[in-house]
């Protein structure tokens, strides 16, 4: 993409309303624009990141055997009356009346609707286990929306729901999502630690929050430092097999949010030097809630003996739009964002250092074409800005690699390749720069 033809409205100054780095950088780097309190438009650069995160989430859900569907944003109030949550949900639920005075709401989560879809479509125990998910916009009418997309009102969430015959089956479904979540966050360049957590308004008796450690996080957490180095299950994990050993490895070390923190256990189980009490950002949460929804909503399957049994359910959320903020909190410096490669909006920024210099422009154009032909996504700053402004802008935007071409290097047949994370620079021939990027991609993705 040529920057001259792109829409990237970056800001020179720090927006006054932004209290944390991710909010500030998302506004400054032209990723989002606030349209109302807690409601954002995703500008082209931000949307590319959001889509990358969505893609990773989707790939890991599919790998774990979940099926994607898409539920609407608006729901009938009556559906929530069936479960008893309509009155319980409180002012965070955006309640709406249509032109015929029918009561609707903007879905904050979808346990009721998916249970309704399940009971209409599934009859037999043979159709279990079933895991259905979608990636859809939700609304929670936060009292004080803040921190940009970290605590917005309209937000993009992946929410999935499992249906099993009994608790043992439901725990296997829970384990599959546990592993899928570890993998998804890890692929985004994040270390998200599963912590025992309150079940809150979803209900149930088993829950883990996946938490990215960050000083600006809203969660108060306690954990064993051993969790910082545990290996994440591999891509070829057999989701039909026994996942208990992997789950035990990740749940044995102490990790809990303050809501369920047990100070005595923490001190007895974790050696002092490994005790970590810090803050974190919740990027996902998984719940097992048994028959909490299936009983009142009569979602049951027929057993071989003809009897009927309410299914055991779980739900599994990932804050897709919040993750953009969390990834920036975990990866930025004083110059701007430092994207992990798998979620970066472009792979490489190409900078022409002398606008108007025909040789530099020709070299940039040629390299741009070659990079794109090799499958790299390139943001090519072909504008008339001076070199310093271009470098600053590329650092702000935070693409993993930068290639700068100027008249002096070009005379020596060289371009400058810079890695945004770390800042190492090297001068090399244009084709060698391409080879280096392709090699880095191959090392990362295996393709």
The residue within the footprint of a second copy, chosen from 12, 13, 16, 143 (CB under 8 A), is 143
Please state, in angstroms and as integers, the Cα–Cα distance from residue 8 to each residue in 89, 127, 140, 379, 397, following that order.
39, 48, 29, 11, 10
What is the radius of gyration, based on Cα positions, of the chain?
Answer: 24
Of the listed pieces 69-77, 228-236, 325-333, 418-426, which binds a second copy according to CB under 8 A? 69-77
The residue within the footprint of a second copy, chosen from 19, 88, 102, 423 (CB under 8 A), is 102
CB of 313 to a second copy, least distance (A): 15
β-bridge mates for residue 284, sequence order: 210, 318
Rounded Cα–Cα distance for residues 156 and 154 (Å)? 7
Q: Which of 179, 236, 234 is nearest to 208 (CA)?
A: 179
Tokens of 440: 């880095």
CB of 121 to a second copy, least distance (A): 3
Tokens of 199: 């079940």
- Calculate ∠ Cα 27-33-39, nearest 5°: 120
* Range 3-32, binding a second copy (CB under 8 A): 5-7, 9, 30
Work out whether 165 is an interface residue with a second copy (CB under 8 A). Answer: no
* Range 33-62, binding a second copy (CB under 8 A): 33, 35-37, 39-44, 47, 50
Question: Do the Cβ atoms of 205 and 170 come closer than 8 Å?
Answer: no
Work out whether 372 is an interface residue with a second copy (CB under 8 A). Answer: no
How far is C-alpha 50 from the geometric centre of its chain's CA atoms?
8
Q: Give the residue with the Cβ less far from a second copy, 35 or 333.
A: 35
Size of the site for a second copy (CB under 8 A): 52
Q: Which of 423, 294, 301, 418 is nearest to 350 (CA)?
A: 418
| DSSP, residue by residue, 256-287 | EEGGG--HHHHHHHS-GGGEEEEEEEEEEEEE
Of the listed pieces 15-23, 131-139, 215-223, 293-301, which binds a second copy according to CB under 8 A? 131-139
CB of 401 to a second copy, least distance (A): 22
Q: Give the residue with the Cβ less far from a second copy, 140 or 420.
A: 140
Residue given tokens 């256990």 in the structure block? 265
Of the listed pieces 117-125, 166-174, 225-233, 360-368, which binds a second copy according to CB under 8 A? 117-125
The residue within the footprint of a second copy, chosen from 60, 111, 154, 159 (CB under 8 A), is 154
Q: Give the residue with the Cβ less far from a second copy, 15 or 271.
A: 15
Residues making contact with a second copy (CB under 8 A) = 5-7, 9, 30, 33, 35-37, 39-44, 47, 50, 65, 67-76, 79, 91-92, 94, 96, 98-99, 102, 104, 106, 113, 116-117, 120-122, 130, 132, 137, 139, 141, 143, 153-154
């Amino acid at each position: 993409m040529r920057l001259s033809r792109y829409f990237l409205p970056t800001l020179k100054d720090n927006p006054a309303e932004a209290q944390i780095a991710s909010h500030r950088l998302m506004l400054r780097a032209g990723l989002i624009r606030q349209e109302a309190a807690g409601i954002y438009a995703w500008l082209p650069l931000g949307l590319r990141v959001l889509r990358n995160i969505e893609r990773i989430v989707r790939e890991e859900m599919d790998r774990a055997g979940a099926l994607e569907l898409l539920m609407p944003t608006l729901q009938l109030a009556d559906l929530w009356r069936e479960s008893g949550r309509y009155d319980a949900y409180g002012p965070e639920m955006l309640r709406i009346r249509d032109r015929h005075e029918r009561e609707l709401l903007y879905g904050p989560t979808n346990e009721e609707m998916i249970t309704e879809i399940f009971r209409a479509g599934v009859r037999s125990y043979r159709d279990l286990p079933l895991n259905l998910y979608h990636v859809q916009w939700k609304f929670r009418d936060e009292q004080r929306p803040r921190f940009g997309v970290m605590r917005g009102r309209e937000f993009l969430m992946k929410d999935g729901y499992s249906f099993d015959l009994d608790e043992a089956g439901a725990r296997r479904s829970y384990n599959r999502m546990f592993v899928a979540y570890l993998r998804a966050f890890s692929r985004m360049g994040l270390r998200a630690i599963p912590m025992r957590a309150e079940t809150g308004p979803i209900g149930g008796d088993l829950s883990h929050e996946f938490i990215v450690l960050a000083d600006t996080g809203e969660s108060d957490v306690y954990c064993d430092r051993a969790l910082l180095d545990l290996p994440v299950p591999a891509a070829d994990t057999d989701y039909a097999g026994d996942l208990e050993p992997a789950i035990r490895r990740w749940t044995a070390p102490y990790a809990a949010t303050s809501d369920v923190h047990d100070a005595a256990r923490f001190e007895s189980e974790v050696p002092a030097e490994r005790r970590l009490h810090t803050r974190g950002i919740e990027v996902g949460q998984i719940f097992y809630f048994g028959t909490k929804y299936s009983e009142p909503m009569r979602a049951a399957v027929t057993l071989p003996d003809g009897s009927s049994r309410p299914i055991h359910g779980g739900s599994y959320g990932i804050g897709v739009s919040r993750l953009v903020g969390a990834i920036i909190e975990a990866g930025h410096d004083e110059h701007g964002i430092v994207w992990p490669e798998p979620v970066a909006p472009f792979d490489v920024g190409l900078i022409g250092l002398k606008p108007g210099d025909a040789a530099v422009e020709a070299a940039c154009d040629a390299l741009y074409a070659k990079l794109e032909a090799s499958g790299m996504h390139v943001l090519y700053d072909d504008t008339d800005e001076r070199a310093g402004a271009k470098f600053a802008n590329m650092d702000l935007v935070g693409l993993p690699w930068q290639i700068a071409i100027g008249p002096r290097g070009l005379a020596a047949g060289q371009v400058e390749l810079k890695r945004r994370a770390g800042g190492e620079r090297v001068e090399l021939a244009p084709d060698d720069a391409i080879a280096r990027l392709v090699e880095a991609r191959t090392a990362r993705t295996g393709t």
